[in-house]
Chains A and B, each alone.
Chain A
Amino acid sequence: GENVEQHPSTLSVQEGDSAVIKCTYSDSASNYFPWYKQELGKGPQLIIDIRSNVGEKKDQRIAVTLNKTAKHFSLHITETQPEDSAVYFCAASSNAGGTSYGKLTFGQGTILTVHP
């Protein structure tokens, strides 16, 4: 089955700096890669996603890049703010049906701390 590795496990930056979180996946059939932000006491919130037919996607201060050949994708947050502090999860899934239906395989998470 799919395996997703996420690094780093913790990331500390100063306000205004950029933050980069990287994930690798194992299943070449994976074609959908969402990123979630989870704040304390809340469920994961979808912040951006990318499909395998796209190499990069940007939404204001957040961007995601995908390298299908190397099987890795990254989240980039620019001009970080204290409210960006949270746990970030990458995930992968495929639409191959069968054992893929509705299943997101998550990385282990990155605790991002943005210091004012």
Chain B
Amino acid sequence: KAGVTQTPRYLIKTRGQQVTLSCSPISGHRSVSWYQQTPGQGLQFLFEYFSETQRNKGNFPGRFSGRQFSNSRSEMNVSTLELGDSALYLCASSLGGRMNTEAFFGQGTRLTVV
């Protein structure tokens, strides 16, 4: 069974640009959550999608957005990049639903903003 796949693995962008990251969940999983990981702030929740609907959102500015497609694949977008957006972006997939189920992470996308 394939795991969670994130693309690309590495990105270098310039301040002011925008970026789109992609996540393919484990087959059969309908929930995709996104996290930002930095040395200073640790792992912070960005948002969660289930059946193409955003069910939950963390405390990040509106420059951070996402979407989910009918095949459960998800993308997140960051507009008007700032230096502080440099981080490892992780997505996690789970079965979803009301009961908490195991969340499995991808390898992440390392974003560097210069």
Same complex: yes
Contact of B103 among A46, A100, A105 (CB under 8 A): A46
Residue pair B98, A102 in contact (C-beta under 8 Å): no
Known contacts A34-B103, A93-B100, A94-B100: does B56 contact A102 (CB below 8 Å)? yes
Please name the residue on chain B nearest to A95 by beta carbon. B100
Report chain A residues within 8 Å CB of B43: 44, 89, 91, 104, 106
Contact of A103 among B32, B48, B104 (CB under 8 A): B48
Count A-side interface residues using an 8 Å CB cutoff.
Answer: 30
Question: B94 at interface (Cβ–Cβ under 8 A)?
Answer: yes
Contact of A97 among B45, B90, B98 (CB under 8 A): B98
Nearest CB in chain B: distance from A8 CB, A? 15
Report chain B residues within 8 Å CB of A34: 102-103
Please name the residue on chain B nearest to A107 by beta carbon. B42
Number of A-B contacts (CB under 8 A): 72
Nearest CB in chain A: distance from B43 CB, A? 4
Report chain A residues within 8 Å CB of B105: 36, 43-46
One digit per residue, 1 when the CB lies within 8 angstroms of any chain B CB and 0 when it does not, for chain A 34-47 equals 10100001111110
Nearest CB in chain A: distance from B56 CB, A? 4
**How many of chain B's residues touch chain A, expressed as a range?**
20 to 34
Known contacts A36-B105, A108-B42: does B99 contact A102 (CB below 8 Å)? no
Residue pair A103, B102 in contact (C-beta under 8 Å): no
Kindly state the separation between the CA atoms of A109 and B31 in the bound complex, as whole angstroms. Answer: 25
Kindly state the separation between the CA atoms of A23 and B63 in the bound complex, as whole angstroms. Answer: 32
Residue pair A31, B90 in contact (C-beta under 8 Å): no
One digit per residue, 1 when the CB lies within 8 angstroms of any chain A CB and 0 when it does not, for chain B 34-74 equals 01000000111100111000011010000000000000000
Report chain B residues within 8 Å CB of A43: 4, 6, 90, 105-108
Residue pair B107, A102 in contact (C-beta under 8 Å): no
Question: B24 at interface (Cβ–Cβ under 8 A)?
Answer: no
Further 7 A-B residue pairs, CB within 8 A, beyond A51-B100, A93-B100: A43-B107, A44-B90, A46-B104, A91-B43, A102-B92, A106-B44, A107-B42
Residue numbers of B with Cβ under 8 A of A are: 4, 6, 31-33, 35, 42-45, 48-50, 55-56, 58, 90, 92, 94, 96, 98-100, 102-108
